[in-house]
Amino acid sequence: MGLYTPEEISNARRNIQRYAWARAERDTAIETCAPYMARSDGEIWDLITGQSIPRGIHVNPDLGCPECGRDVYAFGNYPWKVSLQRPYKLECPSCGEIWPKNDFETFYKSGLGPGGIFDRKLADESLLYNAENANAPHYAVDDGMGWIDESGNRWWFIAYYSHYCTWKELPAAALALGKAYLYTGDTAYAHKGAVILDRIADVYPDMDLTPYSDLGLYNSHGSTGMGRITGCIWENGMAETLSLSYDMISEGIEDDNELVRFLSAQAEKWQIAQPKSSIAHIRENIKHGLLREFIRSCRDRRIRGNEGMTQTAMATAAAVLDDPRETPKALDWLFEPGKSRGTGGGHIPATLIGEVDRDGVGNEAAPGYCFGWMNAFARCAWILDRCRKYRDYDLYRDYPRLKRMYSAPYRLTALDRYTPHIGDTGNTGGEGMVSVERQTIISAYARLGDPDLARLAYKLNGNSTDGLHTSIFDAAPEAIQKTVLEIAKQHGELELKSENLNGYGLTVFRHGEGHDQRAAWLYYGRNGGHGHRDRLNIGMYYRGMDVLPDLGYPEYADSKWPKRAGWTTNTISHNTVMVNRQQQEVNWIGHCQYFATSQSIGVVEIASPEVYPDTRDYRRTLAMIDVSPTESYLIDFFRVNGGNDHIMSFHAGEGDVTTQGIDLTPQEKGTYAGKTISFGTHYDGPPDGRYRGSGFAYLYGVHRAENPTAGWWANWKLADTWKTQHGDTPLHLRYRVLSNAENAALAWGDPPQNKPGNPRRVRYVLLRNASADRKSLFASIIEPYREGQPHIADATRIDLGTEERDIAAAAIKITTHTGRTDHILSSDDPNRVFHLTEGISAAGRFAIISRDNGQTSIFLVGGTRVNTTSGTLRIGTPTHRGTVTDFHREETGPAWVEIEGDLPPDKRLIGTQIRILNDGIRDACYTISDIVSLENNKVRVEVGDTSFIRGLASREDYEEGFTYNISTGDPCEIQNAVHLHIANGKVETLCATVDYEWT
């Protein structure tokens, strides 16, 4: 049938005449093809190797390069330089050595047997020698199965070449040849593409990765060892690319007698069984050797990737096969129940309803992986659109969460520059927004019509519509510009505000404008899979820089690399608390206790004791508070109750650290684990991905202090590692410790060293309390500032008269250099009044009282009272409470929940969060979009375009229907917030969700 209609193909060729961007797309395809167009058919055919040549993604992952060792990894995970111009050779980007030392190409050719397949037994042994050095004849000689050195280490040079050159470049070339043919109509491109596809189809049915995995070769297969040419994960790309390529070139070979002549001659020469004596035979060979094999392997799991990948690979192969008997069956498979790692079908319903959360984020924690789902399912949806003659499947119509997936990537970002490096994402502090791409967004807008997508596309295009376009295959691809411009003018620039993405588990505070924008985030979502054990981790951006960088993507995201589980994904390397020298347990999400924002302030509290079953309380309260229109500080209270060892781990970015108010002694040897335990030792667990221990042995260069008293600080002079800083004045970050600890330490920890540009090391602060059935309340202030211009002059813990071990409340007084004082209270009891000194007292979950030059600001969340010398604030109802009696049960909004109880239909609650106390499996905070009165003491709370559907009741039987995130009878609550500004006896209400009294 052809995925592209004749009309679309002529649109593309016409657009190339009209638009420079379309010509650029054509030119890219032609440039990629050029090296292949310059080769003869025979030369191209010879490049393709069979099952007997292994594929692997590492030469030797532990040792690096035989010459320069691990220095090679400064150039990336997969750093070796390969080129089809230099057959079977790898160049080390670090030392420049070329490997292997033998002439493998000649050896390979000497061993070609029936089918044109290399057979080691036929090859000329005498060719296996070091061609560079006669004195070391066996050194670095690879016969295809790797070189084994004197110490028994195996070096897979040829396998690496095969994987990264042969099997990366040829599929890419096939796709580019297909595009070049579509764009130009020149059948020479189709011809070359067919040579590649036909030859791969010859060898593909015998391709199987398992025997090589059994030999210890690494590949992309998520530890299953399965795959065809590559691992079962990356194999999806192979299947999709080769299927698309065939679709594009198929028509162009219709009258290609030269192709028949060449391939028939090759078949005869090499005794290839498949007939090649007509174009029909060649097409059948490609269908048989590729498309049907892809379909088969999606079923047998040798093609099995992250969600979206396999469904798309299957759909593409099925659509291109275009067989009235086989195609519908393969399409139906996409929707059949199954488990991604088990048996059954492509389980699209379970994925797009249950595994994508209500914010539109996939379930892999790390943005890079989660948003991969969106891109893959978008391609899948496009393929299914083309298959309507077989089946009426429409992902956008039937799975509304796919639409939400497009707005999700941008909603996570900050400063129009960063996506938080959550889980296996990015490097240590570098910039970049994950999956926020102009072309994806504009296509999504064209498809979905969401005005926010138009505004985002406009913004990503530099606040302009110049050059904005939809697909090259559209009749009028620039027609979109007009409506985008209208929407941009009507709605203005798209600006993100502070937000709590409770489906995903991320709070982002966003303050300031332009270069003064700053943001802080607290992540409380999934911490398994591609997530790190990082529940309640925090981050911050300031003056263009990531000042609290997560370490990001590990050296290798596989289950063998010891440092991944030992350190990079371990709880201890994150800005959070480790309990009992163990990593956190994995679960879906923490529980938001409250989230409130007003002008120049935001606060959130998240509890997550499930990640440490020994704890009764594991909870962080984080507030971002402005001290001026350009500057903010963070205040952080972290409570832990239970377990017998609590460590608050904190690190900022690269840079020298100085301290004040603490007397640190260097530990001469060893690591944080002890003087006798050396770096990287998994002394408390297995040396691989199963490790769940402390990771202490990855912290080195330790300085320690016993019983430091509250009030000391560590100060990072931050290096501008990624050249992202605004302005020339160096930036600093000061971490003020306002709680006592049994001991404190500073130590170095290493970011992944194979991500080019990553810092060599960053300095950690570790605050530790270790005694039986411990309670801890770690209180601190995080203050980024420009050199010489800190804002905070002094900060002290206020004595609340409570017992040392009482973690129910804590308070801090801050004095700024401009003379402002902030009194801050975090308490578990809305009614208990605490005296905060200087005539101030407060009762509430969170309160800040700022006094500056005779003016007073009060921000009170979930509280009843604040007394100041200028007056008293009283609130009758700190928290509205009710019970869920009914709720919206559809997948699309506007969603609503009906509540009985003392909840007033008060429009001031619009924009605040209602928290439903559900079963705790996922969290249930929703932003109120409207609230209306019903009969019988009930209200209806509307919460916008979201869904209460949690997923399907059964992964095996979809007929069992949905499960919901909330139930009738669940209690619910809204924490009230009041923000007042008092100057000259006049009270200004900055925010109030409830009636209050000021006297």
- Of 641, 636, 632, the closest CA to residue 613 belongs to 641
Q: Which residues contact 349 (CB under 8 A, 6 or more apart)?
A: 335, 337, 399, 952, 958
Question: Residue 7 belongs to what H/E stretch?
Answer: helix 6-18
* Least spacing, CB of residue 614 vs Zn ion, in Å: 23
Residue 760 phi/psi, 5-degree rounding, is -65, -45
Please say which residue, 532 or 820, places its beta carbon nearer to Zn ion: 532
Query: What distance in Å separates the CA atoms of residue 251 and residue 321, rounded to the nearest whole number?
Result: 13
Please say which residue, 59 or 974, places its beta carbon nearer to Zn ion: 59
* Least spacing, CB of residue 65 vs Zn ion, in Å: 3
* Least spacing, CB of residue 433 vs Zn ion, in Å: 18
End-to-end CA distance of the chain: 78
* Least spacing, CB of residue 67 vs Zn ion, in Å: 4
* Least spacing, CB of residue 317 vs Zn ion, in Å: 36
Q: How many helices (H) and strands (E) does the chain have?
A: 22, 42
Residue 185 phi/psi, 5-degree rounding, is 75, 5
Please say which residue, 174 or 366, places its beta carbon nearer to Zn ion: 366
Question: What type of residue sits at position 55?
Answer: R
- CA angle in degrees (0–180, nearest 5) for 457-458-462: 110
Query: What distance in Å separates the CA atoms of residue 66 and residue 51, rounded to the nearest whole number?
Result: 27
Query: What distance in Å separates the CA atoms of residue 758 and residue 439, rounded to the nearest whole number?
Result: 29
* Least spacing, CB of residue 550 vs Zn ion, in Å: 4
- Helix axes of 438-448 and 401-411: crossing angle, nearest 10 degrees: 140
* Least spacing, CB of residue 64 vs Zn ion, in Å: 7
* Least spacing, CB of residue 573 vs Zn ion, in Å: 7
* Least spacing, CB of residue 751 vs Zn ion, in Å: 10
Task: Say which DSSP state 515 is in.
Answer: G
Please say which residue, 167 or 556, places its beta carbon nearer to Zn ion: 556
Binding site for Zn ion (CB under 5 A): 65, 67-68, 72, 92, 94-95, 532, 534, 550
Question: Cβ distance 637 to 778 under 8 Å?
Answer: yes
- Of 553, 796, 565, 563, the closest CA to residue 690 belongs to 565
Please say which residue, 65 or 170, places its beta carbon nearer to Zn ion: 65
- Of 397, 307, 385, the closest CA to residue 350 belongs to 307
Please say which residue, 292 or 533, places its beta carbon nearer to Zn ion: 533
Token reading at 94 = 């670090």
Query: What distance in Å separates the CA atoms of residue 14 and residue 11, rounded to the nearest whole number?
Result: 5
* Least spacing, CB of residue 757 vs Zn ion, in Å: 17
Do the bridges between strand 499-501 and strand 615-628 make them parallel or antiparallel, or are there none, so unpaired? unpaired
Classified as helix, coil or strand, 482 is helix
Give just the sign of the alpha carbon dihedral 978, 984, 985, 988. negative
* Least spacing, CB of residue 368 vs Zn ion, in Å: 12
* Least spacing, CB of residue 214 vs Zn ion, in Å: 28
Q: Give one word for 488, left, alpha or beta, with left for phi > 0 and alpha for psi -120 to 50.
A: alpha
Q: Give one word for 814, left, alpha or beta, with left for phi > 0 and alpha for psi -120 to 50.
A: beta
Question: Cβ distance 258 to 191 under 8 Å?
Answer: yes
Please say which residue, 8 or 97, places its beta carbon nearer to Zn ion: 97
Q: How far is CA 174 from CA 190, 427, 439, 479, in A?
A: 9, 32, 23, 32
- CA angle in degrees (0–180, nearest 5) for 917-923-925: 75
* Least spacing, CB of residue 752 vs Zn ion, in Å: 10
* Least spacing, CB of residue 568 vs Zn ion, in Å: 7
* Least spacing, CB of residue 565 vs Zn ion, in Å: 12
Please say which residue, 726 or 761, places its beta carbon nearer to Zn ion: 761
Question: What type of residue sits at position 561?
Answer: W
Query: What distance in Å separates the CA atoms of residue 960 and residue 943, rounded to the nearest whole number?
Result: 27
Please say which residue, 609 or 751, places its beta carbon nearer to Zn ion: 751
Please say which residue, 246 or 418, places its beta carbon nearer to Zn ion: 418
- Of 434, 517, 550, the closest CA to residue 726 belongs to 517
- Report how far Cα 723 is from the mean position of its chain's Cα atoms: 22
Please say which residue, 226 or 506, places its beta carbon nearer to Zn ion: 506
Q: Which residues pair with 437 in a beta bridge?
A: none
* Least spacing, CB of residue 526 vs Zn ion, in Å: 12
* Least spacing, CB of residue 155 vs Zn ion, in Å: 12
Please say which residue, 9 or 90, places its beta carbon nearer to Zn ion: 90
Question: Residue 321 belongs to what H/E stretch?
Answer: helix 309-321
Q: How far is CA 370 from CA 308, 363, 715, 740, 776, in A?
A: 10, 6, 35, 40, 34
Task: Say which DSSP state 659 is in.
Answer: E
Please say which residue, 354 or 549, places its beta carbon nearer to Zn ion: 549
Please say which residue, 95 or 770, places its beta carbon nearer to Zn ion: 95
* Least spacing, CB of residue 303 vs Zn ion, in Å: 30
**What does 353-382 look like in DSSP terms, one character per residue?**
IIIS-TTS--TTSSHHHHHHHHHHHHHHHH
Query: What distance in Å separates the CA atoms of residue 732 and residue 397, rounded to the nearest whole number?
Result: 50
